[in-house]
Structure 1
């Protein structure tokens, strides 16, 4: 009987490897970030943890034994979803692993823009002692969270500690803890004029592509801040630049962009009311253990029983 095989295209700690080995002692487990370690094993792997372009070449574009891919990231918009659906390959995401680090980044950006920390850092570089007309505070303001998944929920929880009014936008308007109001996405333009902070945490899908453009920025308050940690293509970047140039919004905190790395020629680098981070909002010391222990191992146990994982399964029709 052919030995079943798991390929993990990342380096993982030895204790995490041993925990997996305990569950599947008779499987061959290939682990490592170097493609030379796992490339020749892809076509015969039943499960792959982590997406690499070679997976498409060896497992999607031709026949293979692949049954399930566990993504190393929450977003799967770059995956060949149509082809994977046709081959009946199950795809699960790392949704949930980012809730703490990204919600921390969101509030870092919100507080920095509100309390002008970014301005003071620039002043420090030139040894300039200046008040910078600091006046705003975050307490009691209204925050609109576009995308109410694990990140959005954790952000709402933190917002309540600041006494904020929290409005959520997602496909369902069902009530959610820590949210004062919930709406479906068709009401986006209705809630934007109410928000002092607009936070984009939604995944990139056909429905969210270019969700924010000229009209949406014009509907926002001139005093509102825009934060995007979702995906760059959710925003029409030239329209965001125009809104900043025309002072239609007060500023922006941006971790994602239409094209990455962000071009050195982009005017976004030069705006004093913009804070840029290089798609690092989800980085954390606990990333590896959360993906393996909190998501993959529970799913693996269920897969061994029922031939399918039981959570974070991608709906190919919705794209997430």
Structure 2
């Protein structure tokens, strides 16, 4: 851990608030995921990910609090294009007209209207998983603003960052790595809360290195390889798409354990993609494994409904 990193345990961000994690990295805690502001005040900046639908106001307020009234990013970069990471893009691009959006080329079919993502899998277990069919898999269309990462200019806010290909949770998922201070923004390659549970997803407890959200991971072999790739970097601080940051010895021990024991700890015991991945390519989804039978029991629905009602009440206070 370098002196540039903040003490993350003491600075857990309130809903819609900012958490300064490095001099040029701010986490914006959104209701179901995180977005990030990369850059320093007075200089060009980049938005990383855009949360669920309805989060645009929180993102704009956080950006203007950090960068000043009327602040707009030089670019929006996506770790991937699932609904809980792009849901506010429609509102943001109306506000920030002509700001370009960048994603890995293998994400572009799902962001240009060509293909929906592999559908979520509610059979992996958990109350959030039971609700996952509500997370529309697209296709989403952000043309003409959306571009391949290769077209991204050398923006000041991204100097020093490396894009790491971490597929599995989505075909073109990326993480961001900075060697200088060993800072990792993992996206959903792994997360730090038990995202399959609505209560855990909203409370961010327990805080631990955890598999990618199981209900929306269509390729578990690739997900395992991506976790191992990130563990090999030995990050000092990891920031993920869901949950609070992890750092230091705790991070290294838990991430190493997750990578080493991925098949026994992380791969679901059952589910649509557990033994057969979705097959995808440059044009989108090519082939899907059969859909297993799914019967929704009332208990997870009641838990999820109560949690989402509490979330709605909290958002009214933000």
- Normalising by structure 1, we get a TM-score of 0.30
Larger Rg: 1
- Normalising by structure 2, we get a TM-score of 0.30
